[in-house]
Amino acid sequence: MRAALLDWFAANGRDLPWRRTRDPYAILVSEVMLQQTQVERVVPRYLRFLERWPRVEELAAATTAEVIVEWQGLGYNRRAVSLHGAARAIAARGWPDDLTTLVGVGPYTAAAVANFAFGRDVLPLDTNVRRVRERTGHEFDARCAQALFDLGATVCLARIPRCGVCPLAASCPSRGRRYAPLRRQPRFEGSFRQRRANALRAVAAGRDPADPEAVAALARDGLLTDNGALPAAPRPRP
């Protein structure tokens, strides 16, 4: 299975900009952006973000407002604040051996940066990787990570997998199965999430958000202070 997967990836792998670098900062930016955001939306924003802040020290020197404004359209603004805090920690002390000590970096993101930037023998377990492993019953090694990402995203789909074009189908015990539809996320347009996003965008731009309920919710989540201002980026841990 491993050989078939890697042969397929060599011919069909997606050409993504973060796959052309081993820079841990660039890879961290891509992984944070890709959390709950589609690849197609991330690519242009990733390129623009790195054009503005090509080095971790430059992102660390930016203000929280600048980072949040640049992040608009990617959703889940807490990720921007956490990325800014991680950049400040890295600029102050360098890259830690334990990447999960960086604010906003959990086990998956730590494993992805460790693998793709530092060449460590660790397999990042995202939804696509878990799905392929569960359906095939096969344990793949760290070198298979990008191939598993692409297979899960384009062939071994959540509901109706494309078994007819899957390089692993011949040995897959789940071949031909169909799965229940996933629960859809509520619409963003007209939602309270949109109001929160609009309020945060207004504060970052120096305007009155004119939505006390949204401001209060943002403050409860730590994205604004109690008086409705942007918080400072998290301080690097001693």
Given a contact cutoff of 8 angstroms between Cβ atoms, the answer to whether 135 and 158 are in contact is no
- What is the C-alpha separation between 168 and 143, in angstroms, rounded? 17
Given a contact cutoff of 8 angstroms between Cβ atoms, the answer to whether 93 and 238 are in contact is no
Query: Residue 137 has what DSSP assignment?
Result: -
Query: Is 31 labeled as catalytic in the residue annotation?
Result: yes
Q: Which of 31, 51, 189, 213 is catalytic?
A: 31
Question: In the structure encoding, which two tokens stand for residue 172, read together?
Answer: 């897959």
Left if phi > 0, otherwise alpha if psi is -120 to 50, otherwise beta: which for 98?
A: beta
Given a contact cutoff of 8 angstroms between Cβ atoms, the answer to whether 116 and 134 are in contact is no
Active site (catalytic) residues: 31
